[in-house]
């Protein structure tokens, strides 16, 4: 997936902690989306706690924090019932979509559309819906904060230009 292009739509089979969401629903906000698997050590130890910190730091009307449960291995152990318990036990209250699968394909549809290498994968989507960054693996909190600051400044400048 090339950055700078409109982000492809998410293809989720189910949502937790939210009604179903689309990228169009989130326009006007910067989106921090993390593709994760609950059995992925990097996801459990780094990505998901980072999402909590972002959610607590930035106002929800400016930054949307979204989890995408993108299971490509150990399918039986990471089903929706297990995910629901996981989210409850760790008190993750941000919206989490379950990436849908096509019949017989072990790779979920959104993972394939974004050409993800694995989990965790962080995606930053600007207020206009363009994919601005996609990062496989852990990203330092300061680097993420700086990237979010730049995207929020751009959104403010675009808004100011539209309303002189």
**78: confidence class by pLDDT, cuts 50, 70, 90:** confident
Decide if pLDDT at 138 tops 80.
Answer: yes
**73: confidence class by pLDDT, cuts 50, 70, 90:** confident
Which pLDDT score is estimated for 77? 80
Residue carrying the six token digits 């904060």: 145
Decide if pLDDT at 70 tops 60.
Answer: yes
Q: Tell whether 12 is covered by a domain.
A: no
Q: How many whole angstroms separate alpha carbon 58 and alpha carbon 63?
A: 6
DSSP one-letter string for 1-69 = --TTSBPPPP-EEEEESSS---TGGGTTSEEEEEEE-TT-HHIIIIIHHHHHHHHHHS-TTTEEEEEEE
Task: Please write the tens of the pLDDT for every residue from 81-115.
Answer: 999 999 999 999 999 999 999 988 889 999 999 99
Whether cis (ω within 30° of 0) applies to the bond prior to 35 is: no
Q: Tell whether 45 is covered by a domain.
A: no
Give the DSSP H/E element, type plus range, for residue 97. Answer: strand 96-99
Q: Tell whether 69 is covered by a domain.
A: yes
- Looking up residue 64, the CATH number of its domain turns out to be 3.40.30.10
Contact at 8 Å (CB) between 23 and 129?
yes
Neighbour tally for 39: CB within 10 Å: 15
Mean pLDDT over 35-48 rounds to 95
Which pLDDT score is estimated for 97? 98
Q: Tell whether 109 is covered by a domain.
A: yes
Q: Which among 116, 122, 106 has a CA at the least distance from the CA of 43?
A: 122
Q: Name the domain count of the chain.
A: 1
pTM over 0.85: yes
Q: Tell whether 4 is covered by a domain.
A: no
Q: Tell whether 108 is covered by a domain.
A: yes
79 vs 144: which has the higher pLDDT: 144
Q: Tell whether 18 is covered by a domain.
A: no
Residue 95, φ and ψ in degrees, nearest 5: -60, 140
Give the DSSP H/E element, type plus range, for residue 121. Answer: strand 121-125
Domain that holds residue 157: 26-37+50-127+135-162
**What is the percent of the chain with per-residue pLDDT over 90, rounded to a whole number?**
84
**Pairing relationship of beta strands 121-125 and 131-136 according to DSSP bridges:** antiparallel
Q: Tell whether 9 is covered by a domain.
A: no
């Amino acid at each position: 997936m090339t950055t700078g292009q409109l982000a492809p739509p998410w293809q989720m089979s189910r949502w937790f902690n939210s009604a179903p969401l689309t990228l169009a629903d989130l326009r006007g906000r910067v989106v921090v989306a993390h593709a994760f698997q609950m059995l992925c050590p990097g996801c459990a130890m780094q990505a998901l706690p980072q999402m909590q910190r972002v959610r607590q730091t930035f106002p929800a009307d400016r930054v949307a924090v979204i989890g995408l449960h993108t299971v490509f291995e150990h399918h039986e152990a990471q089903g929706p019932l297990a995910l629901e318990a996981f989210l409850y036990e760790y008190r993750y209250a941000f919206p989490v979509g379950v990436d849908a699968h096509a019949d017989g394909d072990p790779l979920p549809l959104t993972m394939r559309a974004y050409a993800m290498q694995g989990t965790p994968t962080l995606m930053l989507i600007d207020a206009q819906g363009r994919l601005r960054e996609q990062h496989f693996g852990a990203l330092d909190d300061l680097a993420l904060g700086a990237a979010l600051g730049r995207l929020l400044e751009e959104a403010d400048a675009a808004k100011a230009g539209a309303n002189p």
